[in-house]
Amino acid sequence: MLLQTVTPITVLGTTVALALFLSVTAHLAARNVLGDVDPRRALYVGPLPAVTAIVGVTYALPEALIVLVALLFDATMFAWSYDQPRRLIVGMTVIHAVITTLLAIVLFSLTLLFATMPG
């Protein structure tokens, strides 16, 4: 196993990668609810929940609190970015959470599958 060192660059890289992943899944959620939308609007949604997750894990906060705060920031950024009624914002936030969870499970499973591949 490789020795992993936490540096500011690795934290920044992880935060940017998570923000991009959350922005892509936010765009999928917005398309699911609103139809054809500008993908650039989703770029505003991802960074704040990503920073929340990184800071929460860094300070060893309870996971339930991290998820709750990240979902609140997610809904806030959806409302700010897409300017829709509250009911649609709640729908986009729930769909975003589901899509993000499912896609993360699939990507983690593929990574685990390739890591255990013989040869």
What are the percentages of helix, strand and coil residues in the chain, rounded to 5?
Answer: 80, 0, 20
| 47 closest CA partner among 80, 79, 70 | 70
Q: What is the CA radius of gyration of the chain?
A: 16
34-92 pLDDT tens trace = 999 999 999 999 999 999 999 999 999 999 999 999 999 999 999 999 999 999 999 99
Give the global pTM.
0.91
